[in-house]
Structure 1
Amino acid sequence: MILGEYSTPEAIANMRHTLGLDLPLWEQFFRFVKTLFTQGDTGNSIIAGTSTRELIAERAPVTLLLIGMACVLAVLVALLLAVLAATRKDKLADHLIRVIPTITLGMPVFWVGLLLILLFSVRLHWFPVGGIGEGWTGTLYSLTLPAITVAFSQIPTLVRSLRAQMLEVLESDFVVTLKAAGIPSRVILFKHVLRNSALPTLMLLGVNISYLIGGTLVVEQVFGIKGIGSLLFSSIAKRDFPVIQGIALYCAVSVVIISLLIEIISWWLDPRTRGKQ
């Protein structure tokens, strides 16, 4: 693939020697692992000929910003809907909030992206169809619709989990005691109920973070964003295996790091776990 279709046997032999493919398999694996741990690299791109680490680092900021925006939007919308549903149990708002997110849960993320493009970009002209704008303002503006698309896949499960936890806490004895003491309902809801209900939902977000990252990579392709997702799909089409390996590696590392951060936040939210840990 590097030398082209009409390469000579001598050129192929020289390239195999350059890439170390003529070495024993165990030695190739040892060199690969050594490079992985010492340089954080999976080799050079077959197509571009440059380090996969450099290629991924060049595209990573846009993808990380998109993941962060989608995560913030998902948490804020889920928080708003869950509070609204829990405080209006078995009323019209509660039923709508429980039914509508369940419907959106069955929609593929790329299809949701196409619908949002048709509505907000093609018809209403509120957002660009794709690409990245210039400057911080332009970047945030152009990533808003993709972030909403990715957040759609996370909101339903977060709403259901947080609503169920809030209803359980609202019926607990300490909430009844706080109400009897004359503490305002708003203070009880936001200071006590939400804090005690947030932990399971936060853990659920940590479990689903891999789906969030995977959805982001697909959405980048739909909106024509030059991030890690577009690099992944182009590498798959061109069979650029080192780049594919590098993206898989860094995505896995990102999931581990984010899960660790969520564990730390959970430890901070729930003082009862500090003594155990």
Structure 2
Amino acid sequence: MSFLLKRLAGLAVVLLVASFLVYGLLYLVPGGPMAFLLGNRSGTPEQVAAIRAQYRLDDPFLLRYLSWLGDALTGDFGSSLVYRQEVAALIGSRVATTVLLVGYATVLISAGGIAMGLLAGLRGGRLDTAIGVLSSLFLATPPFVVGVLLAIVFSVGLGWFPVFGPGEGLLDRLYHLTLPAITLSLASAAFLARITRASVREELNREHVETARARGFGERHIVRRHVLRNASIPVVTVTGLNIAGLIAGSVVVENIFALDGLGSLFVRAILQRDFAIVQAVVLVLVTAFVLINLLVDLCYSALDPRLSR
């Protein structure tokens, strides 16, 4: 319990600092927030006054930050200047697409990466070489190139999958998100496969494994009881980092496949200088990143209780 409380306290501090940076960095734009909000428009005195009132720009900076943070904690991120809607509603209507995309890609990464790594580490030989070459190819190919190639082959050429849009309903959405999820997961799955292979090979050569073999235990028992558990800690680390990286990678993939998720909303908000949406989306993504790190820490303590001391 003390381990969990320490982690929660640390993550609360990280989120507080992150929220301050998210709110404050946009005020470092040359000309201040008004230059960011107005863009190339001059704005009438009435419009300028309305914007200053909406964002409380006449108040001291710290007071503005605390007011914004208090509203954000209740789910109120203000209103969008471009869409004329509540930012929370805009995020809520798009977050499901991003969550499904990241979740789908996570399943592909975990299943594919760990399976390939185990096969390469336990079998060796030509299979190990083939998986190594394949993982190198996946790691060397940028996601936008993979996305375009998959769309050309499986959408335009074979017609197996749709090219654009998130679909409707769970099954239809998963069908529409198959190519984007593969695009998002290939490089991460290849990296996870390498880490899994290296961890398994290292554990296979440890002294306690040799001792278990000398005592006559079967290879399956040795792998299950002595290799997989000890090799899982670096695998969990890389998996957690990959999932966190998927949140950032989804920005590119959503734009390739015209998915109306948080990534595409974020890009449009930057281009349109929509102040409130940029702040809200960054804060949501940082929060998700922090929560994933917390889950990784909890997995550590479950795999090896000594790490929670």
User: In the alignment, which residue of structure 2 is the partner of 1:163?
Assistant: 197
Confirm or deny that 1:216 pairs with 2:245: no
Matched to 2:262, the amino acid is: I
**CA displacement at 1:205 relative to structure 2:** 2.3
Structure 2 partner of 1:76: 111
- Confirm or deny that 1:254 pairs with 2:288: yes
The answer for the alignment partner of 2:19 in structure 1 is none
Partner Cα distance (2:255, 2:288) in 1: 20
Number of residue equivalences: 272
Q: After superposition, where does 1:143-222 map in structure 2 within 5 Å?
A: 143-222=177-256
TM-score of the superposed pair, with normalisation by structure 2: 0.80
Residue 14 of structure 1: CA displacement?
A: 4.2
Q: Equivalents in 2 of 1:86, 1:58: separation in Å?
A: 43
Amino acid at match of 2:135: P
Indicate which of 90, 94, 98 corresponds to 1:63.
98
Displaced runs of 4+ in structure 1, greater than 4 A? 4-7
Q: Which residue of 2 aligns with 1:139?
A: 173
Residue 63 of structure 1: CA displacement? 0.7
Q: Choose from 16, 20, 23 the match for 2:52.
A: 16
Give the aligned residue type for 1:44.
S
Alpha-carbon distance in structure 1 between the residues aligned to 2:133 and 2:43:
60
Counting aligned pairs with the same residue, the percent is 38
Q: Structure 1 residues 176, 6: CA separation in 2 closer, same or farther (over 3 Å shift)?
A: closer
Q: 2:300 aligns with which of 266, 270, 277?
A: 266
Long gaps (5+) in structure 1: none
In structure 2, the residue corresponding to 1:154 is in which secondary structure? helix
CA contact (8 A) 2:147 2:253 kept: yes
Q: Does structure 2 retain, via aligned residues, the 8 Å contact 1:113–1:219?
A: yes
Query: Does the C-alpha gap of structure 1 residues 187 and 27 become closer, same or farther in structure 2, counting only changes over 3 Å?
Result: same
The residue number in structure 2 matching 1:119 is 153
Residue 226, structure 1, aligned to residue 226, structure 2: no
Q: 1:190 to 1:216 in 2, by over 3 A?
A: farther
1:245 counterpart residue number: 279
How big is each residue's C-alpha offset from its partner over 1:164-212, in whole Å with a ceiling of 9 and x where there is no partner?
A: 1101111123223333444432333244312211111211222333321
Which secondary structure state, in structure 1, belongs to the residue aligned with residue 177 of structure 2? helix
1:146/1:223 contact within 8 Å kept:
yes
8 Å contact 1:41–1:246 — kept in the other structure? no
The alignment partner of 1:224 has SS state of coil
C-alpha distance in 2 between matches for 1:273 and 1:25: 41
Q: TM-score, normalised by structure 1?
A: 0.89
Structural mapping, 1:66-105, within 5 Å: 66-89=101-124, 91-105=125-139
